Amino acid sequence: MHANTGQAGVATPVRHQPVRAAAAAFFGTMIEWYDFYCYATAAALVFGDVFFATRDPFMGTLASLGTFAIGFFARPVGALVFGHLGDKVGRKRSLIITLMLMGVATTLIGLLPSYHSVGVVAAVLLVVLRLLQGVAVGGEWGGAVLIAAEHAPPKWRTFLASAPQYGSPIGLILATGVFRMVSDLPKEDFLSWGWRLPFLVSGVLVLIAFLIRRGVDESPEMEARLRDTRRTQVAPLGLVLRERKRALLLGIGLCLLGISGFYFVTTLMITYTTTYLKITRSQILDVITWAGVVELISFPIASWLATRFGERRFLVWVTALATLWSVPMMMLILTGDIGNIAIGILGAIFLIGAYYAVLAPYLPRAFPVEMRYTGISLSFQLCGAIFGGTTPLVGLWVANHYGLNWPPMALMFAIIGGVNFLCAVYLPTEERDAALGRQAAPMATQPAGR
C-alpha cells in the first residue's frame, strides 16, 4: 500500500510486503536469468555453427563466446540507466522495464535467420539483441535485491534479500533442461530449429512474471526518500563517485566469484569438456542442470549460517574454501570421467551458491539509500563487464595454449576466489562506518559480522 496523506497532511507509513516483494523479485529474476542462460548455453553449443560459419571450429566457438562477452560490456550501461531511474523515481518502475526489455530481446533471438540465410546480417542482429539483453540484466539484479531487502524486516532480511538469487539456479535449471530436451534431436534439426524453442518460451514466461511484479508496491524506504523534500539533486552516480569510491571498487571484487567464478564452472566448462575431453553435450548439460539443484540446496544453508555467525564472516570463510577447491576441482575434471567432472563442478557450485546467497543482503550495506541501486548495480555489472564475459574467452585461450594440464586452469580459478576473499575482508559497510564515527547507510540491520 502506497503512502497517503491523512488528516493534517501527515503521510501514513507505507506497508511492508516482505513475502510478496521477495516473490516478485524471485519470479522476475528467474525469467531474466532463464533468458540469459539460454544465450550462454547456445553460445557454447550452437551459435558458432549458426551465426559464425567457419571451417575452423575453434574460431567459430571463439566468435560465438565473443558475443556472449559483449553482453557483459552492456551491463554497466543498464546499471547506470536503471540505477539512476531506480534511485530517483523508484525501484518498481525500473524493474518492470528491465523485465520487458529482456523478454523481447530473447524472443527475437529465437526468430533470427542464420548466417547461411542472410550472411553477416544475422551476426549483426545477434550482437544488437545481445546488447539489449546485457542492458536489461544490468538493471535487473540491483533492483530485485533492493525491493526484497527494503521490504524485509531486520530479523528475516538475510533470508528474504537472497530471494532474487534463487532465480538464478531456477533459471539455469529451466534453460539447461529445455536445451537438454532439444539436444537429442538430429544435428541438422537441432541447428535448424531445435535451439530456437528455448528462446521462444521466454515470451510466455515474461507475461507471467510481469503480472506478478506489477502487484508489488514501491520499497517503503524508497517511498520515504521520495517524500523527503531535503533530498539532494546530485545524480546517484555522482554521489557514488564522490562519497563511496572505495566501496564501489571493493564491491566489484566482492562480486567476482559469483560472476567470473560461476561462468568458469558453467559456460567455460561446457566448452572445455566437449571440445577437449570429448564429453557429449547431453552429459555435460546434465551436470550443469544439477548445478542449479546444488545451488538451491546451498542457499538456505548459507542464509542460516550467515544469520547465525554474521554475513561478513561467512563470506570470508566460503571464499577461502572456494579458492582452496580450485586444485582438486581441476584434477577431477582432467580425469575425463563424467562422475569426477560432476564432483569437481558441483563442489565448486555449492561454494559459489553459498557465497552468492549472502552477497545479496551484504553488498547493499555499503551504500546509502539515495545511491544504493546505482552503487550495487555498478559493482555487480562492472565486475561482469570486466571479468564475467571475458572468463570463458581467457579460459579457452589457456586451454588452447597449455593443453590438458590442470595447474594453469586451477590457478585461474584460485585467483578469482582469492581476490573475492580479500574484498570480503575489506569492504566498508555501515557497521564499520559507525565504528569509525562515519555516517552510516540508513538500512535497518542485524550485525553483519566482523
CATH number reported for the structural domain that contains residue 259 in this entry: 1.20.1250.20
Comparing C-alpha atoms, which of 366, 374, 412 is closest to residue 393?
412
Residue 449's pLDDT band, with cuts at 50, 70 and 90, is: very low
| Number of other residues whose CB lies within 10 A of the CB of residue 206 | 23
Identify the sign of the CA torsion 277, 282, 283, 284: positive
Handedness of CA 329, 330, 331, 332 (dihedral sign): positive
Please give the Cα distance from 95 to 99 (Å, whole number). Answer: 6
* 311 is a domain residue: yes
* Grid cell in block for residue 350: 555449492
Q: Cα separation of 421 and 431, whole Å?
A: 19
d(CA 284, CA 296) in angstroms, rounded, equals 19
Closest CA to 197 of 71, 40, 42: 42
DSSP three-state, residue 11: strand
Q: Give the whole-number percent of the chain exceeding pLDDT 70.
A: 84
Identify whether 7 is part of a domain.
Answer: no
Query: Does residue 54 or residue 182 have the better pLDDT?
Result: 182
Rama region for 186: left / alpha / beta (φ>0; ψ in -120 to 50; rest) = beta
Residue 224 lies in a domain: no
Task: Name the CA radius of gyration of the chain, rounded.
Answer: 21
Region of 337 on the Ramachandran plot (φ > 0 left; ψ -120 to 50 alpha; else beta): beta
Non-local CB neighbours of 130 within 8 Å, separated by 6+ positions: 39, 67, 68, 70, 71, 74, 105, 109
Q: Does residue 230 surpass a pLDDT of 70?
A: no
Say yes or no to pLDDT of 354 above 90. Answer: yes
Of 62, 100, 168, 150, which is closest to residue 390 (Cα–Cα)? Answer: 62
Q: What is the pLDDT of residue 278?
A: 83
> Which residues face 11 on adjacent strands?
5
pLDDT tens digits, one per residue of 289-310 = 788 889 889 999 999 999 999 9
Q: How many CB atoms lie within 10 A of CB 233?
A: 6
- Whether 229 maps to a domain, the answer reads no
Find the range with the poorest average confidence among 94-98, 115-119, 223-227: 223-227
Q: Does residue 227 lie within any of the structural domains? A: no
How remote is the C-alpha of 450 from its chain's centroid?
26
CA distance readout (Å), 125 to 40, 258, 348, 385: 17, 29, 35, 21
3-state secondary structure of 310: coil
Give CA–CA dist 251/357, Å, rounded.
15
Task: With respect to residue 49, please indicate whether it lies within any of the assigned structural domains.
Answer: yes
Distance CA 122, CA 360 (A): 37
- Number of domains present in the structure of the chain: 1
Extract the C-alpha cell encoding 413: 580459478
Residue numbers of the domain that contains 81? 14-216+235-435
Closest by CA to 40, choosing from 272, 352, 261, 267, is: 267
Task: Name the phi and psi angles at 113, rounded to 5.
Answer: -70, 160
| φ/ψ (deg, to 5) at 235 | -60, 145
**Segment holding 433, helix H or strand E:** helix 430-435
Q: Is residue 94 pLDDT above 90, yes or no?
A: no
| Distance, CA of 185 to CA of 194 (rounded, Å) | 7
Quote the pLDDT of residue 61: 64
Q: What is the mean pLDDT of the chain?
A: 81
List CB contacts of 405: < 8 A, sequence separation 6 or more.
Answer: 334
Question: pTM of the prediction?
Answer: 0.75
At residue 350, the pLDDT reads: 96
Predicted confidence (pLDDT) at residue 52 exceeds the cutoff of 80:
no
